Amino acid sequence: MLSGYTLSQDILANKVRINNLLIGIGHFTRAPEIAPSTVYHLQTLPQPSPIVDFVWYPSASRYNPPSYCFFASVRECPVKLLDGNDGRLRASYPIVDHRERQIAPHSLSFNFTMDKLYCGFQDAIEIFDIQRPGEGERLYTTPSKKSKDGLKGIVSALAFCPTSSYFAAGTLTPATPTADNIALYDASIDSEGTQVLSIGGVCSRENGGVVQLAFNPMDEYTLYAAFRRSRRLWAWDLRDTSLPVCCFEPECSARSEEGSNAVRRDATEDVTENLTNQKTRFDIDRGGRWMGTGDQMGNIAMYDLHSRDSTSGVDESSRYGAGSGEDIPMIRPTLSFKAHDDAVGAVAFHPLQSVLLSVSGSRHFDHNDASNTATEDDSEVSSDSESASDQVDGGEDVRHSGVFRRTRTRPHPTVRDASIKLWDFGVEKSVRMADQCE
């Protein structure tokens, strides 16, 4: 996992590992004698359970110690407010279910006034006043378990509009023709929030749940979404949410569609043999112009978000729903390059400079080792059985020790490329790797 840059140019990685990013003056002057950007590890904060999600305080800065903090969702623990300097626990915000169990939310987000924390979990959103530790207010996304209204399932993505009190929520439950998995809420109507509309049009195009939502920083009416087991990114205009306004798709999927000479609308027909349930997070620069995203093959794609307002970058020959009145233009990447030798879990733009941070890593299991271990165990058991049968045939006394026990070892996952890389886009017509941190 990877969070966006803070004002102090720090990044947060999995296992609450804090790294610092130092960018030299050379990125402004382009002087070769100036040291390039560097990323170095600051500290690791151990946690008792796996980390589900985390978020920096929006105005966090190392030069302002009170604001230098982040929230972490740790499994079976209250939401923690941790200090970014020493990792001490400043406050905790518990979410308790009807069986008095601690719930770790799957998504965290601040409202646009930065005074409330929204936490998404099963069929509900917990809202905390960060100035007052303790229990929060609960917003149920569906009236009841049996009701077909509202959002059903785990609220896995939250995103606030940068200029108003609206926020979007998405769930891991796949969308259906009668129920969407993305909704828009208005937090100004009451203290918690009220659903004002549903966002759909992708139930026949995506089979997975929502993994990330994001508003365009410069356009309050544009919402972007990423789905599980999909290479595509979708964009909606909130003034008409019946259908997406465009789809961002890499070239590999486009070539497969053009080669088949048909436009495929069903997500089950995508090239998904190499895709897993791992989340891949995208990011949008503060100018609202560029969007970067990685995939599970180690590639990074850069999209021009202004392409949907013009004819450049839009592939008119390949559209979703062609001929049915539901034409959705597809936008190709402006730049695509091989960044890692493993899945790119997240990317993040620097707020002030033309650099991009990427992090990679995924679990891989070697099935050959598991099969070899099982074969050796089977051979040992069979040899023991043969020796026992030989003794019985020879008339010798045999003492049965009970059942044969087979020793099995749990397969251990391996990582091909677990690294953090910094990419410099300041060089004209090229991109180079500025630094790498293992």
pLDDT digits (tens, 9 = 90+) for 61-101: 888 999 999 999 999 999 999 998 888 999 999 999 888 89
Residue 179 lies in a domain: no
**What's the confidence (pLDDT) of residue 14?**
52
Phi, psi of 41 (to 5 degrees): -80, 130
CATH number of the domain to which 262 belongs: 2.130.10.10
H/E element holding 330? strand 328-331
Q: Could you give the CA distance from residue 238 to residue 185 in angstroms, rounded to a whole number?
A: 12
**What's the confidence (pLDDT) of residue 432?**
64
Residue 356 lies in a domain: yes
CA-based radius of gyration for the chain: 25
Residue 79 lies in a domain: no
Q: Are 252 and 194 in contact (CB under 8 A)?
A: no
**What's the confidence (pLDDT) of residue 403?**
66
pLDDT > 70 in the chain, percent = 69
* Residue range 92-121: mean pLDDT, rounded: 92
Surface-to-core class of residue 438, CB atoms within 10 Å of its CB (0-12 exposed, 13-18 middle, 19+ buried): exposed
- Count: domains in the chain: 1
Range of the domain at 243: 204-372+415-438
Q: pLDDT category, 255, cuts 50, 70, 90?
A: very low
Q: Which amino acid is at 102?
A: Q
* Residue range 390-414: mean pLDDT, rounded: 61
* Residue range 243-258: mean pLDDT, rounded: 72
Residue 37 lies in a domain: no
Q: Name 329's Cβ contacts closer than 8 Å, sequence gap at least 6.
A: 246, 247, 308, 314, 315, 316, 319
Query: Cβ–Cβ contacts within 10 Å for residue 61, how many?
Result: 16
Residue 236 lies in a domain: yes
Q: Could you give the CA distance from residue 85 to residue 302 in angstroms, rounded to a whole number?
A: 33
**pLDDT higher than 50, residue 373:** no
Bridge partners of 284, per DSSP, are: 291
Residue 15 lies in a domain: no
Q: Are 166 and 158 in contact (CB under 8 A)?
A: no
Q: Could you give the CA distance from residue 29 to residue 27 in angstroms, rounded to a whole number?
A: 6
DSSP state of 393: H
Q: Are 272 and 235 in contact (CB under 8 A)?
A: no
Question: 422: which 2 tokens?
Answer: 């910094």
**pLDDT higher than 90, residue 234:** yes
Q: Could you give the CA distance from residue 432 to residue 425 in angstroms, rounded to a whole number?
A: 7
Residue 170 lies in a domain: no
Bridge partners of 236, per DSSP, are: 223
* Residue range 302-323: mean pLDDT, rounded: 61
Longest dimension (CA), the chain: 92
Secondary structure class of 210 (helix, strand, coil): strand
Q: Which amino acid is at 335?
A: L
Question: 123: which 2 tokens?
Answer: 């069929």
Query: Cβ–Cβ contacts within 10 Å for residue 173, how many?
Result: 19
Residue 72 lies in a domain: no
Q: Could you give the CA distance from residue 53 to residue 12 in angstroms, rounded to a whole number?
A: 11
Query: Cβ–Cβ contacts within 10 Å for residue 195, how many?
Result: 17
Q: Which of 141, 3, 131 is nearest to 60 (CA)?
A: 3
**What's the confidence (pLDDT) of residue 129?**
93
H/E element holding 183? strand 182-186
Least confident of 279-293, 314-328, 399-413: 314-328
Q: Name 33's Cβ contacts closer than 8 Å, sequence gap at least 6.
A: 26
